[in-house]
């Protein structure tokens, strides 16, 4: 999945209200996104329980800046590509 696709989903919510955050799913747990890093055409969303959740405005800025980048997630020492997302009432889950 590319950054531009997630940016569209965040800016045009289907449930009528703005999302409050971005979560990363690992083994039936949902961890808040706390950092974003960029490397070699990839935008990596990082879940770290020791850091506060990243505000959605910072996520949107990173997505706008790197629209063509491929999305990856990193949580619990595992990198995974993002193929899609799920919607909840107030968040998107990668």
Span of 13-17, 27-31, 57-61, 89-93 with lowest mean pLDDT: 13-17
38-84 tens-digit pLDDT: 999 999 999 988 899 999 999 999 999 999 999 999 988 889 999 99
Check residue 72 and give its pLDDT.
96
> E strands, the chain, where?
21-26, 29-32, 35-39, 42-46, 70-75, 78-81, 86-87, 91-93
Higher-pLDDT residue of 17, 35: 35
> How is the chain split into domains, by residue range?
3-93
Q: Which pTM value belongs to this model?
A: 0.89
Mean pLDDT (whole number) for 29-36: 93
């Amino acid at each position: 999945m590319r950054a531009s696709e997630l940016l569209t989903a965040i800016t045009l919510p289907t449930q009528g209200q703005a999302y409050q955050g971005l979560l990363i799913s690992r083994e039936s747990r949902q961890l808040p996104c706390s950092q974003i890093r960029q490397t070699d055409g990839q935008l990596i969303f990082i879940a770290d329980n020791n850091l506060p959740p990243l505000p959605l405005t910072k996520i949107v800025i990173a997505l706008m800046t790197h629209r063509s980048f491929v999305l990856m997630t990193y949580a619990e020492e595992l990198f995974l590509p993002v193929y899609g997302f799920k919607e909840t009432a107030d968040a998107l889950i990668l």
